Amino acid sequence: MSDGAGANAAALARAERREAQGLFLLCSPAVLLIAFVIFLPIGWLFTLSFTDEQGAFTLGHYARMLHPAYTRSFQTTLELSFLVTGICCLLGYPLAYLMSQVSKGWRAVIFVCVLFPFWTSLLVRTYAWLVLLQRRGMVNTWLQDVGLIDAPLRLVHNFTGTAIGMTQIMLPFMVLPLYAAMTSVDRDFVKAAASLGASPVKSFWQVFFPLTLPGLLAGVVLVFVLCLGFYVTPAVLGGGRVLMWSMSIERSVAVYSDWGAASALGVVLLVVTLGILWLMNRLFGVGRAIGGR
C-alpha cells in the first residue's frame, strides 16, 4: 500500500512537472514579447540616461534635475497624484457600495454610467471638461444665470481644473476593483455581526470594510500609478501652470532634442513608481490585492 502511494506520488510529481513545462511553453510567446517591448527598451532608456551626446558616461542628465524647475514639477506630480487618488477613494467607495446594494436594473444603469466615460476617448473627455469649466463655459454661465456668483470662477487652466478632469478619468479604475471586492464579500458575515448585536455602522466598519480593503488598495495603486505618468489632461486643463513630470520629459525632447535628459527623467519616474509600489506592498500587502499569491 505504501509502495502504491509512492508510485502514485512519483507519477503525480511527473505530471505536475509536465504541466509546469507545458504552461511555461504556453507562456513563452508572451514572455518573449514582454522582454522585447518592455525590458529591452527600459534597458536602452537606462543606458541613454547615463550617456552624453558623444556617447561618454555622464551624470549630467541627473544633476540637471536638481534645478527648482524640475523639483517643483516633481512635487506637483506627487501632490496631484495623491489628491486625485484621495478624491477617487472618497467618491469611488460609496459609488461601488451603491452598485453592490441596488437591484440588478439599477446596477446596470450605474455600470453604464461608470463605463461609458471609460470607453470614450481620453482627449474627448478632457476637452469636454474644458468646454464645461472655462470662463464662458456651461458651469460658469449656469452659476451666473442662477445668480450664485457675479464673476466667473477660475475653474480651469489651473490645478483645480486638472484635478477635476483627472478624477473623473480615473474614477472607473477605482470603482471597478472596489465593486469586484464588495460583491465577493459574504453578506452572511454582516448578518452575523448584526445578530450578535453590532449596530449597522459598527458592522460596516468592523466586518464589511476590512473585507473590501484589498479592492480599495488595488484601486489606489492603479489610480496613483496612472496619475504619476499622466500627460494629456494636465497639458490641456492645467493652463501651462501644472507641469507634470511627463511634461518635463516631453519638453526635454521637443524643446532641447535632448534624449539623454528625457531618458533620465523617465528613469526617475520609473524608479519612483516602483518604489511606491514596493512600499505599498510592504505596508499593506498589495501583491495579494492585485491577484498575486
Interacting residues with other proteins (CB under 8 A): 67-70, 72-73, 76, 134-136, 154, 157, 235-236, 239-241, 243, 248, 251, 253-257, 259
Grid cell in block for residue 283: 505596508
Residue closer to other proteins, measured from CB, 72 or 191: 72
Q: How far is the CB of 169 from other proteins (least distance, A)?
A: 19
Distance CA 219, CA 58 (A): 39
- Smallest gap from Cβ 227 to other proteins, in A, equals 18
User: CB of 46: closest distance to other proteins in angstroms?
Assistant: 20
Residue 130 or 194: the one with the smaller Cβ distance to other proteins is 130
Calpha distance 289→79 (Å, rounded): 24
Residue (159 or 204) nearer to other proteins, CB = 159
Would you list the DSSP string of 37-55? IIIHHHHHHHHHHTB-TTS
Residue 70 vs 179, nearer CB to other proteins: 70
> What is the nearest approach in angstroms of other proteins to the Cβ of residue 254?
8
Q: Which is nearer to other proteins, 120 or 257 (CB)?
A: 257
- Of 135 and 282, the one with the shorter C-beta distance to other proteins is 135
Shortest distance, position 48 Cβ to other proteins, whole Å = 13
Cα-flanking dihedrals φ and ψ of residue 57, to 5°? Answer: -65, 140
* Least distance from other proteins to the Cβ atom of residue 148, Å: 21
| CA 215 – CA 218 distance, rounded (Å) | 5
